[in-house]
Amino acid sequence: MKKTLKISFSMLLILVLAFVPFSQTESPQVNATEEGSDLVQQLNHILNNDPILQGALAGVSIRNAETGELIYDHIGDIRLRPASNMKLLTAAAALDTLGEDYKFKTELLHTGLLNGQTLQGDLILKGKGDPTLLKEDFDAFAAKVKEAGIKVIHGNLIGDDTWYDDERYSTDLSWSDESWYYGAQVSALTASPNEDYDAGTVIVEVYPGEKAGQEPVVKMVPETDYIKIVNKAKTVAEGESKDISIERDHGTNTVTIEGEIPVDGSRSREWIAVWEPTGYALDLFKRSLAEQGIKLQGNIMASASPEGAKVLSEHQSMPLSKLLIPFMKLSNNGHAETLIKEMGKVEKGEGSWEKGLEVLEEKVKTFGMDKETLVLRDGSGISHVNLIPANEISKLLFEVQGKIWFPSYLSSLPIAGNTNRMEGGTLRNRMKNSNAVGNVKAKTGSISTVSSLSGYVTTTTGEELIFSIVLNNLTNGSQGKLIEDQIAKLLADQ
């Protein structure tokens, strides 16, 4: 009787274990020949014992960069949210679809005839997705208008953003993200405040007044009438604490500033996403025209270009290979979503997320990824619905090494410990004083409860490795970087 009971209990235990989900404490899948290696044991120790990972999921995939052989795999086939590691897919697809030399165009058009110094017609700025337009580019367009002999526009100033559809936000963008630079609206006609090229944003700066009790001084870069500032903040005495908030009201371009800033305090600064960036670009262009002494007698509006409009001038962006630097080094969400729409426009004739994501899915399949196990919802990774296994990311990183554009792709990745902002990017302050410095080249990723790092590293013995680390369900997402850095440094030390 006891023997029968014991067998039944064992069978029950086996059945229970068969249906228990893979936990953080189970042994990872590894290459059989490597199971006893020091590297595997050290990785196992980190992943199974670090309290940061208590109750979390850690997808880790490590491959030999030359052969693609999978040499370490910790739940590498489990679909996880990749955060900005999604940009690895977007950048590869864009390079393969559009090419390294691809440039965005912006056209200056007009209707009607020039009668003396008066344009008897409309002036049109037609955007074709360029996220790098600066105030100086609108100045250059205005100079072209002046060179054409035009001093008066007896018509409207039109912004044509119909190159893309009119959906400004990707499907899963949270309302709480939409006023910040990383959640800026995507338009085919937009503008950036500086050479980080955060399209569709303005920089709002708050400086202390000359003495306590005064309103702080507020500046915008670039200067624009498109944003209305409501200044409710005050300057307080020297030595008091600074507490300034700069926020845009939903559905408007009203930016409210509240709080206190001491007389001796440093400035506060925020990149604020504008509501409807087409109008923002038009406002900058209107200012540029006025600075050239050109008078506009009509209205300012967003509309498709009138039929028969003629080209007066054209501006081209930097090539994609150069745009990849601010895109990937600084993890620019707007660039990712613009590239998705541009791929849709070029390949499918429609500048939309739907068509662009179709192109992305088709492309990643050619890079050896299993399309059936992926959930792709945007190009930037800001969505919490995106799902990619770590093994699929490492597979992508292996396959793209054979592409003609791979040097541009590799150059766009942040470099650990390199303090030059446009080289080290989001890794410039990480892994210092280690063999990873100047060696680990990888894309970071971070959204709430998620952290990721995937890229390339060369060991001390000269072996090149590919790795992907995707951490989900963290209670403190920023602590995931500690795990990633441990693993990356460990690989560099081999």
Asked if residues 347 and 99 have their Cβ atoms less than 8 Å apart, the reply is no
Of the residues 61, 84, 305, 383, only one is catalytic, namely 84
Is 242 noted as a catalytic residue in this protein? no
Catalytic residue among 288, 305, 331, 468: 331
331 is catalytic: yes
Q: Using a CB cutoff of 8 Å and minimum separation of 24, what contacts does 50-56 make?
A: 50/483, 50/486, 52/474, 52/476, 52/479, 52/480, 52/482, 52/483, 53/24, 53/471, 53/474, 53/483, 54/24, 55/24, 55/473, 55/475, 56/24, 56/471, 56/472, 56/473, 56/474, 56/475
For residue 163, give Cα distances in angstroms to 91, 147, 152, 349, 350: 21, 27, 28, 10, 8
Which residues, 6 or more positions from 67, have their beta carbon under 8 angstroms from its beta carbon? none
Angle between helix axes 353-366 and 86-98 (nearest 10 degrees) is 90
Read out DSSP for 119-155?
A: EES-EEEEE-S-TT--HHHHHHHHHHHHHTT--EE-S
**Residues whose CB falls within 8 Å of the CB of residue 24, separated by 6 or more in sequence, listed in order:** 47, 48, 53, 54, 55, 56, 57, 58
20: Cβ–Cβ under 8 A, 6 or more apart, which residues?
Answer: none
Residue with tokens 């005064």: 214
Order of strands across the sheet that contains 464-472 = 29-30, 70-74, 57-64, 464-472, 450-458, 441-447
Catalytic residue check, 87: yes
How far is Cα 407 from Cα 403, in angstroms, rounded to an integer? 9
Cβ atoms of 162 and 304 within 8 Å: the answer is yes
Roughly what angle, to the nearest 10 degrees, separates helices 86-98 and 333-348? 40
* Beta-bridge partner residues of 206: 218, 268
The residues annotated with a catalytic role in the active site are 84, 87, 331
